Amino acid sequence: MSSDKTPPFPQGSFIDAVRESSKLLTERAKISINQNAVEKFLLSPAFTASFERLKMAHGQLLPLKYPSIAAELNVMSILTVLNMASGYRVPLHKATGRGAYDNIRMFVMALYLSSTVEADHMSARGMIILDHQKVADLMGVLKHIHTEVPHKSLPGVVVGELGGPIFDLVRIITRILNETGQALQSGGYPDLGTFLLEALKNAKGDPDVVLQQARTLVRGIPTFQDMATVNGQAIYIFKKALLMIHLVNLRFSSSPNDFVVPDTSQLPVFSDNVIPSILVHLGIIDLSSATLGLDNLFQDVDAGVLLQPAASAEKTTKGVPKEGPVLTSEQSYILRAAAIYACEVVVGSARNLTITDHNLLWVKSITLPELDGWLWAGAKDRVDYRRLGRFSLTNTEFF
C-alpha cells in the first residue's frame, strides 16, 4: 500500500470529488456495504429512539459571549481547524481526564479568554507567533510534554527532554495554527473569522453556494486540504471544511444576517475515525473480504445488542478508553472513504424503505449531516458504544 503524494485539487466540484473518490476507493479495497444491516439499523430502537436528540449534536458551540458575528465565526473556525487529536485520545485521558475533543474545546476557550490587544492569540499574527511552550501551557499539559531519558554521560541518571505523545500533539497543534496564521496574513486577512465571513458574503448570487464556499475554504487554508493519493488514486475527504460550512448553517440559518447561509442537507458526512468505526461495529461496513490488511482490524461485536435501546439504568461514564486498532495513513483514508460511501447508501436506502409504522415515516427524510451527527454523538451517548474500539492514527491533523 502506498500514499505517493498529495493530489491536485479537484477539477470540478469539490463535493462531487469527495463522493466519487470515496466510492471508488471503497470498491477497490473490496469493502462492501451490508444492505441487510442498513435496513435493520434504520428501524432499530437504538437509532429511532435517539435520532431527534442527537442529529445536530456536533459539539461546536462554546459558552462564550462575542462582540460581533466576525468574532464568533473566528472562534467557530479555529475550533474547526483544530477538530483533530483523535489519535491521542488515550494519552490525553491519562494526562487531563478528558477526551480529545474536550481538550481541544478547552484549549480554544483558553486562547480566547487569554487574548489581549497586545497578544491576541485568535488573530493571524497571534497564531503565527504561538510556540510549543505557550500551546502546552494553554492546554494545561506543560508537565506532560517531557519524557525521561538516560543521561548520555552519567550512568544511572535520567534527565527530562521534550518528547512523548502529548508533545507530539502540541507540535501538530502549533504547526496548524502557525500555518493558518501565515496563510491568512499572506491573503491580507486579520483573522480566520474575517476570511470565513468574506467567503460567505462572496457566495451571494452564486448558483451553487456550497460548492463555492467549499472551494474557497479548501484552497485558502492548508489544514482544510484533507486529501491524499492511495495506491495511485486520489481521495478527497475535506472533513474540516465541510464541517465548517455545516456549522454555519446550524448556527445562523434561523437568524437574519448579511451573508449567505448555505443549504448543507446534501453534504457528505464529515468522516473521522469515530464514524467508520461505529459503522463497522454496526455491521454496515463489511470488512470480511477487504484487502490491504483491513479484514481483521476490529474485534467481533454483537451488532444486534447495539441496535437495542440502552439499558435504562445505564449512564455514560468516562474513563481511560481502550486503544483501538492502530492504522496507517493509507488504511485510515480507505476506512474514512468507506464511511462516506456507506452513509450515502444508508440515506439512499432510507428514502426507499418500506415503513408500516406511521410514527417512523420521518426515517425516510433523514439527511447525511443528521446521520453524521447521530453517529458521532451516539458514539459518546451510551456506555456500550463508548467501549467500542475506534481506530486511531497519530501524526495527522485531519481528524
Residue 60 banded pLDDT, cuts 50, 70, 90? low
Domain count, the chain: 1
Residue 395 belongs to a domain? no
| DSSP sequence for 154-192 | STT-EEEEE-SHHHHHHHHHHHHHHHHHHHHHHTT-SBH
Q: Point out which residues pair with 150 in neighbouring strands.
A: 158
3-state class (DSSP) for residue 238:
coil
Residue 228 belongs to a domain? yes
Residue 329 belongs to a domain? yes
pLDDT at 237 over 90: yes
Mean pLDDT, residues 349-376: 96
Which residues make Cβ contacts (< 8 Å) with residue 96, sequence separation at least 6?
103, 140, 141
Rounded Cα gap, residues 124 and 128, in angstroms: 6
Question: Is residue 44 within 8 Å of residue 60, measured between CB atoms?
Answer: no
Residue 243 belongs to a domain? yes
Q: Residues 282-333: pLDDT tens digits?
A: 999 999 999 999 998 888 888 899 999 887 545 555 667 777 899 999 999 9
Location of C-alpha cell 470540478 = 12
Residue 261 banded pLDDT, cuts 50, 70, 90? confident
Pick the residue with more confidence: 207 or 1? 207
pLDDT at 64 over 90: no
**Rg, C-alpha atoms of the chain:** 21
Q: Residues 84-128: pLDDT tens digits?
A: 999 999 999 999 999 999 999 999 999 999 998 888 999 999 999
Residue 1: its pLDDT value, please? Answer: 44
Q: Report the 10 Å Cβ neighbour count for 269.
A: 32
Q: Which of 381, 398, 248, 258 is nearest to 314 (CA)?
A: 381
Residue 245 belongs to a domain? yes
Residue 7 belongs to a domain? no
Query: pTM here?
Result: 0.92
**Domain limits at 312?**
14-386
Residue 345 belongs to a domain? yes
Residue 98 belongs to a domain? yes
